[in-house]
Structure 1
Amino acid sequence: MNVRREESDLIGSRDVPPDVYFGIHTVRARENFPLTGVPLSAHPELVRALASVKEAAALAHRELETLPAARTQAIVAACREIRAGGLRDQFVVDVFQGGAGTSSNMNVNEVIANRGLELLSHPRGAYEYLHPNDDVNRGQSTNDVYPTAVKLALRDAAGRLLDGMSVLANALTDRGGAFAKTYKLGRTQLQDAVPMTLGHEFDAFALTVRDDAVLVQRAAEALCEVNLGGTAIGTGLNADPGFGRAVIVHLADVTGAPVHQARDLIESTQGVGAFLQLSGAVRQFALRLSKICNDLRLLGSGPTAGLGEIRLPALQAGSSIMPGKVNPVVPEAVNQVCFDVFGADAAVSMAAQAGQLQLNAFEPLIAHLLLNSLNRLDSACRLLAERCVLGIEANEGHLRELVERSPGLATALNPVLGYQRTTDLARRSLLAGRSVRELAGESGLLTDEQIDELLDPQRLARPEL
């Protein structure tokens, strides 16, 4: 049994463990970048996307007859295994790495080559029969393979986030319908404003999520413009004639994504505009989702010393010392996901502006952070919907009481009594602790019928009806 496998590169020779599918470049990358402890395999979308690019390239070579048929067949077969989830433990380079993703690309090239060699009945490392660079990477560069794969991976993750956002929006709409006739007092600057329904509040939350989903969708569509075929800097040097056109067609077929070649391959190789657009859309959603969670925690604060307008589902004991305490743990957890996304967006922005000339060397950071943000927000949306929003109940009696004793009701009398008189009513209501309704009746300025009509909760909350 072979217990060692020696491989060579421009630096020298190294022993590679005989039981692995990766090779010398991956071995060196593992030694050079012990940074996060998070391997490439932690992003299965990116692994699948890299394998998709390699499969599309092999199919293009088969079409162009620029690689021997047996080699292209072995590459395609290995890529399909990887895309189906195989060999996942072989993608071991750290997600943070120098070289603009070269280590990730070579890790994939080596795994595909060595699995392909097995399929061709050759031992791993026998690269004269199937080479990681000359065959698997033929017509490509890290600089067009890696950003193309990152875009495909982000598009997949964005699609899942959009599904999660839909789940959350639907849950909020469900509560909006359930609370459509639950009257409450609105607030501005944390002070009493005018009446509304609790349904209004949840419908507004739902629209926020749906509006932000439109931005995420647009950003995901922009990811379909790729620089594959541009090789090192976008000029296409060393790509076979016709390869760029053919590989894009095959990539679209392999992935089902409507990918198309960039209008300017040089700009697309050095620019990261699509990543910034996606990061901005995700950041906006995280900011507004955090605001929704803040509102839910505030509305549910109490049970006796807070607003206490809604009851969030009780999921676990809230204290190791205070018996009976229950905390808004799901909104708190989602807030933390949002804070993480804010920080990721700042780092993506720094990485985007730090690239020089014809390439951005910091795309591994961009890929890692954006994939994390998309996947964590997806989980957060589903968690918030299923473990919190759908179980929210209204404290209806308390809500109605707050409406009836608020000085803010005087606003509804403005059209009849004028601003000065209603201001006096509001002031007296606050000082005496008596309702605006009661004081308006005593004033003799309005009949009981007028007061009933002007202060009718349905009219106050839905003046359009």
Structure 2
Amino acid sequence: MNVRMESDSLGTKEIPADAYYGIQSARALENFAITGYRLNSFMIGSLAMIKKSCAEANIYVGILDPRIGRAIIAAAEEVMEGRFHDQFVVDVIQGGAGTSINMNANEVIANRAIEILGGRKGDYTLVSPNTHVNMSQSTNDVFPTAIRISALKMAAGLEDALRGLLAALEAKSREFDDVLKVGRTHLQDAVPIRLGQEFAAYAKMIARDRVRLKRSLEELQLINMGATATGTGLNCDVNYALVVTRRLREITGLDLIAASDLVDATQNLDALADVSARLKILALSLSKIANDLRLLASGPRAGLAEINLPPVQPGSSIMPGKVNPVIAEVVNQISFQVAGNDLTIGLAVGAGQLELNVMEPVAAYNLLQSIAILTNGINIFTEKCIRGITANRERCKEYLENSIGVITALNPHVGYEQAAALAHEALVTGKTVRELLREKQIFTDEEIDTIFNVKEMTMPGIAGRRLLKTQPLLP
């Protein structure tokens, strides 16, 4: 194989001649064969945006040769456009607080800049990964800034997904507003509720999740570029720190702000933990909705079957005709993964020591994975499940007619004790509440219809017209 020789403080190493990565990336390949996963495109793009901004700032303050700087900027722009992503080869989980990731970006951009200047890859006398591409920087300000930019960029897609889910749930709440059904508490029959009210409650929960997430994401706008190694700004020009943040804001289109305390911003990852916690709450909300839908759609002959989920694939390799709620099931599993990711992030955030948290790579990987799988899962949930749900109106009516829970609607009219006696008789005889009321001629048919009206039983304040009977219902 054609190779080139590269050297570092530990010695020399053969690198594939056509590789844009260099010796430090190659060492990381050997040392951190952990997950088999590489950086996603958002993280690679964020690193390239940072390197471009840094080069522009260093040229501005007069410490980087403009000829070299322009080559670095051009190389970084190509990476931003999607080129050379296959050259980002290091594992997402690694020791070194992300140093291998930062150096992978430095080496790729340096070698491409060398080519732009007419040189051959590996000739770092033209453009050095450390001296030039990493000028005025440390992994300790580059990597956390890249995490924040990536999370904010990815969160825009999650926000779009949540908006679509919320609209679909609200549409179903309106569509099912007239479907009266048995409510259930403790998985036992309870007072009636409208199916539309159940879906409206789901929508309200998701709306709260959107607000919580948006607030927590605002903390990620604070970045620590110019902090260098420990937040003290060693080897960094004061004007550079201001310029690089401004350029990053312009390039990313994000409202990035320089942290007021760079030591704090370099040491602590609590903002990542906060976003992760909000993602976990969202995941739990989605899991609750998925659980409800699986119960309501259970059957179709031996379950509740109050709603119908859209069939998307055959459900069994042995049972013909079986269709499973696979979309709801995958949402549950996504939720479990996000909850597990949150635990990992929490442990990583709490494991920092003194001036740096070296556990950033695992926190970054899990946070970005949570955003990605929630975004994909919510889009699928909306398109392949929520929008296609239909109500089994006859089944809902049948259950309601045979439910003892509706007797609670009699409390304002006959009192609790009389209603309890009637409920007992219904259970013993197997008769419906309507049948017993007609049989005993306690209320007229018109009065019964008034008491068991959809709105009467499911909206506070409607049941103000009491038809209280003074005579006992039972001897």
Q: TM-score range by the shorter chain?
A: over 0.9
Q: Is the 8 A contact 1:100 1:362 kept in 2?
A: yes
Mapping 1:62-461, distance limit 5 Å: 62-461=59-458
Mapping 1:30-41, distance limit 5 Å: 30-40=29-39
- Per-residue Cα deviation, 1:197-240 (whole angstroms, up to 9, x for no partner): 11111111112112101111112211000111100010000112
SS of match in other structure, 2:178: coil
Work out whether 1:17 is the aligned partner of 2:12.
no
Give the letter aligned to residue 37 of structure 1: G
- Per-residue Cα deviation, 1:309-365 (whole angstroms, up to 9, x for no partner): 001111111112212111101101111111111111111111111111111111110
Q: Is the 8 A contact 1:233 1:359 kept in 2?
A: yes
Give the distance between the partners of 2:436 and 2:449, measured in 1 at CA: 13
Give the letter aligned to residue 383 of structure 2: E
SS of match in other structure, 2:314: coil
More off after superposition, 82-91 vs 180-189: 180-189
Deviation at 1:443, TM superposition (A): 3.2
SS of match in other structure, 1:14: strand
Give the letter aligned to residue 88 of structure 1: H
Give the distance between the partners of 1:427 and 1:84, measured in 2 at CA: 72
- Aligned partner of 2:26 in structure 1 is 27
Give the distance between the partners of 2:201 and 2:460, measured in 1 at CA: 17
Deviation at 1:464, TM superposition (A): 5.1
- Aligned partner of 2:48 in structure 1 is 51
Q: Is the 8 A contact 1:90 1:111 kept in 2?
A: yes
Give the distance between the partners of 1:428 and 1:280, measured in 2 at CA: 50
- Per-residue Cα deviation, 1:163-218 (whole angstroms, up to 9, x for no partner): 11111111111211211111111111111111121111111111211210111111
More off after superposition, 22-31 vs 190-199: 190-199
Give the letter aligned to residue 22 of structure 2: G
Q: Is the 8 A contact 2:178 2:454 kept in 1?
A: no
Deviation at 1:271, TM superposition (A): 0.4
- Per-residue Cα deviation, 1:288-314 (whole angstroms, up to 9, x for no partner): 100100000000000111111001111
Give the distance between the partners of 1:410 and 1:153, measured in 2 at CA: 55
Deviation at 1:448, TM superposition (A): 3.5
SS of match in other structure, 2:350: helix
Give the distance between the partners of 2:428 and 2:344, measured in 1 at CA: 52
Deviation at 1:64, TM superposition (A): 1.2
Give the distance between the partners of 2:68 and 2:207, measured in 1 at CA: 48
Give the distance between the partners of 2:406 and 2:122, measured in 1 at CA: 81
RMSD (CA atoms): 1.3
Q: Is the 8 A contact 2:141 2:266 kept in 1?
A: yes
Deviation at 1:32, TM superposition (A): 0.7
Deviation at 1:7, TM superposition (A): 1.3
Give the letter aligned to residue 29 of structure 1: A
Q: Is the 8 A contact 1:158 1:216 kept in 2?
A: no
Give the distance between the partners of 1:330 and 1:138, measured in 2 at CA: 49
Q: Is the 8 A contact 1:300 1:311 kept in 2?
A: yes
Q: Which runs of 5+ in 1 are unaligned?
A: none
Give the distance between the partners of 1:180 and 1:108, measured in 2 at CA: 55
Deviation at 1:442, TM superposition (A): 3.0
Give the distance between the partners of 2:103 and 2:182, measured in 1 at CA: 61
Deviation at 1:463, TM superposition (A): 4.7
Give the distance between the partners of 1:442 and 1:378, measured in 2 at CA: 56
- Per-residue Cα deviation, 1:412-446 (whole angstroms, up to 9, x for no partner): 11112111001111121122111112212333443
Give the letter aligned to residue 185 of structure 2: T
Give the letter aligned to residue 228 of structure 1: M
Give the letter aligned to residue 9 of structure 2: L
Give the distance between the partners of 1:241 and 1:401, measured in 2 at CA: 74
SS of match in other structure, 2:182: strand
- Per-residue Cα deviation, 1:255-314 (whole angstroms, up to 9, x for no partner): 111111112111111100110011000000101100100000000000111111001111
Give the distance between the partners of 2:331 and 2:194, measured in 1 at CA: 25
SS of match in other structure, 1:20: coil
- Aligned partner of 2:6 in structure 1 is 7
Give the letter aligned to residue 384 of structure 1: F
Q: Is the 8 A contact 2:169 2:200 kept in 1?
A: yes
Give the distance between the partners of 2:444 and 2:390, measured in 1 at CA: 37
Deviation at 1:243, TM superposition (A): 1.2
Q: Is the 8 A contact 2:49 2:251 kept in 1?
A: yes
Give the distance between the partners of 2:2 and 2:307, measured in 1 at CA: 66
More off after superposition, 208-217 vs 374-383: 208-217
SS of match in other structure, 1:15: strand
More off after superposition, 51-60 vs 452-461: 452-461
SS of match in other structure, 1:242: helix
SS of match in other structure, 1:180: coil
- Per-residue Cα deviation, 1:109-141 (whole angstroms, up to 9, x for no partner): 000000001111111111111111111100000
Give the distance between the partners of 2:2 and 2:187, measured in 1 at CA: 71
